[in-house]
Amino acid sequence: MIVVDLDGRFDSLAAQSTKTELQSLADAAGQRVLLNMKNVDFIDSSGLGLVVSVFRRLREHNGELAISGPSAQVRTIFELTRLHRIFDIHETEEMALAAWS
Amino acid sequence: MEAEQESPVKRAVLIDPGLLPGLDPLLRRRALGMLPVGGKPLIAHWCERLSDAGIREIELLLSHMPEQIRELVGAGERWGVEVHVLLVREDETPEEAVASARGFINQPTLVAGMHMLPLAGWRAWLQQAVARNEAAISTGSDNPYDWCVLSEVFWGAPEQSFGVLPCDDEVHRQIIDVKGLWQANMDVLSGVITDPNPSGYEIEPGVLSGKGCRLQPQAEVTSPCIIGENALIGKRVQIGPNVVIGAHTIVDEASSLMDCVIFDHTFIGSHTELDQAVVDGYLIVKVDSGVAVHVDDPMILGNVETMYAKRVTVAERLVAFFMLALLSVPMLLRAILLRLSGKQAWESSELLLPRGHDLDGRMSYHTLPVRCLAVANPMWRKLPWLWHVVLGRLALTGAAPSQKGDEPPPEWAHESDERQVGVICLADVSGASRAGHGCEEALIADSYYCASRKGPLDLMLASRLLANLWRPWA
């Protein structure tokens, strides 16, 4: 299980810089990745696109993805794009870890 | 029936309360009177109701973005009333603001905050208030100037005291926060608030549509709904129940809207889901939580006016037309020379108009087929594009699409390193090729400037374009 702490604006620039790292994490078989978005104050479609692609890769390798601690702003964007129905979104990191354990 | 009763007052003073904190995010770009209620601005509701009641003179005390109200209301001819505008400072108290209109109040006058929406019982209250024949009478609220009747005698009263005539929920509705605005819209849709003059055509029971509204195949609309004029509803979009969509709004494919209010000129990206929200361009306010989110992502939410060149000005089209007229002869001569020398005269190409990233992070584009003159000088190559400016498909000049505050321009505005946001597109075309970018990227960058908002730089553009035509042909 890997917890990835993201912070600041998770936009196209941030997505570009973290893309390789996140995707390599997703390539391990059966990996569980928790994206901790507690300190993310904005996410755009590029950031969402990266999360979706990581999610797809994880699924291909029988892994799992969860998201924890999104701010109200970030949660709103997940809801706008209907992605809140796809991802497991938890209020806190502890709750997410507890759900997996 | 209501309209036939003669109002006991003939004048009204409406006070703009300025930046109400509860409406703050929505008032950053518009005046309070421009907030939409049931498909039309709040100030239009006021003018209609006052006119129907026989009030013939209205004094507007405006402080926040008064030009918007002025532009909409004009002198009031549309409603058969006479409108005067008086500018007041935003920091003035209601008392000070009303005092500045003192000369106007020389008979019993309705004084109200613009944030109050008059309901069915407002005229009955007015009649009762006037019948009491007091110098000033209010509903007993903390701020009496929110809703009161004043007479000229009031100013001579030693302590400017207000009589109290309480009112029930049928007299007026306060709109002081986003939830209140949303609720007022929902109540117009459900008929709790009656709109005596609803705008648009009833295309099916409970669905009002403005002129020029387009619904693409498989779009589903569930009543009650109001769709503003020239709105475009994409394929497989689900709208309603309880949705108010402003004019010139675009709802892209497969989106779903329910219990929400969409302001004019909003772009809603494909597969977006809106529920219990108020949306003004790139700003969404969730009604339940009160959370306001500034999205500004062309794939999710945006402002149509700043995202694409939807309006090419007449001046811009004229400049393009005259430039084309002036340059068409040498252009055609050049084409003929090419043909005579056995070369191709014209090349087909496609402009890529950026719209943002999709959910996989890839750029997404609209396309526009264009013809280029088959020469190396990029100025000459693009001359035929002027015809698209004349037709209003492309703007002549480009400027940054987001110029407000510290909002950064979108990433695709920097496709080419050498370009700066806001430079003139047709006059500065070779930057991308000089920087070693491929043709496609040059086209993207050019298209961006063509598609983005433009400034009043037409003449400068014309002179620079002409000057660059005489550069050596590479």
Q: CB–CB of B271 and A79 under 8 A?
A: no
Tokens encoding B430: 């070779």
Tokens encoding B26: 């929505």
Q: Which of B274, B358, B411 sits opposite A80 (nearest CB)?
A: B274
Query: B383: closest CA among B340, B429, B438?
Result: B429
For residues A37-58, average pLDDT: 89
**HSE-up of residue A43 (Cα within 13 Å, Cβ side):** 31
pLDDT tens digits, one per residue of B357-407: 444 444 455 566 778 888 776 667 777 878 877 887 666 644 333 333 344
Task: Check pLDDT > 60 for residue B103.
Answer: yes
Q: CB–CB of A44 and B271 under 8 A?
A: no
pLDDT tens digits, one per residue of B141-168: 889 999 999 988 887 766 678 899 999 8
> B328 to chain A nearest CA, in Å?
43
Are A43 and A12 in contact, with CB atoms under 8 Å apart? no
Task: Check pLDDT > 70 for residue A61.
Answer: yes
The CA distances from residue B435 to B441, B450, B470, in Å, are 11, 20, 22
Q: CB–CB of B356 and A15 under 8 A?
A: no
Chain A (39-58) residues lying within 8 Å, Cβ to Cβ, of chain B: 44-46, 48-50, 52-53
* Segment holding A55, helix H or strand E: helix A45-60
Region of poorest pLDDT, from B38-52, B94-108, B210-224, B423-437: B423-437
Task: Check pLDDT > 50 for residue A94.
Answer: yes
pLDDT tens digits, one per residue of B53-97: 999 999 999 999 999 999 999 999 999 999 999 999 888 888 888
- The gap between the terminal CA atoms of chain A, to the nearest Å, is 10
pLDDT at B460: 46
Q: CB–CB of B360 and A49 under 8 A?
A: yes
Write out chain A residues lying below 8 Å of B295, CB-based: 44, 77, 80
Region of poorest pLDDT, from A84-93, B128-137, B431-440: B431-440
Tell me which amino acid residue B382 is. Answer: K
Instruction: Report which listed range, B275-284, B410-419, B449-458, is most confident.
Output: B275-284
Long-range contact set of residues B418-422: C-beta below 8 Å, sequence gap at least 24: B419/B445, B419/B449, B422/B398, B422/B455
The CA distances from residue B17 to B111, B142, B342, B423, in Å, are 12, 14, 72, 40
Q: CB–CB of B293 and A76 under 8 A?
A: yes
Task: Confirm or reject contact between A23 and chain B (CB < 8 A).
Answer: no
Q: At B468, is the pLDDT very low, low, confident or very high (cuts 50, 70, 90)?
A: low
Task: Check pLDDT > 70 for residue B289.
Answer: yes
- Is the alpha carbon torsion for B206, B210, B211, B217 positive or negative? negative
pTM for this model (two decimals): 0.72
Q: At B5, is the pLDDT very low, low, confident or very high (cuts 50, 70, 90)?
A: low
> A29 to chain B nearest CA, in Å?
22
- What is the ipTM metric for this complex? 0.86
pLDDT tens digits, one per residue of A20-47: 899 898 888 889 999 999 999 888 887 8
Region of poorest pLDDT, from B82-96, B189-203, B321-335, B427-441: B427-441
Q: CB–CB of B411 and A12 under 8 A?
A: yes
Tell me which amino acid residue B120 is. Answer: A
- The CB density around residue B405, as the number of other CB atoms within 10 Å, is 7
Are B368 and B388 in contact, with CB atoms under 8 Å apart? yes
pLDDT at A101: 84
pLDDT at B300: 85
Phi-psi region of B422 (alpha: psi -120 to 50; beta: other; left: phi over 0): left
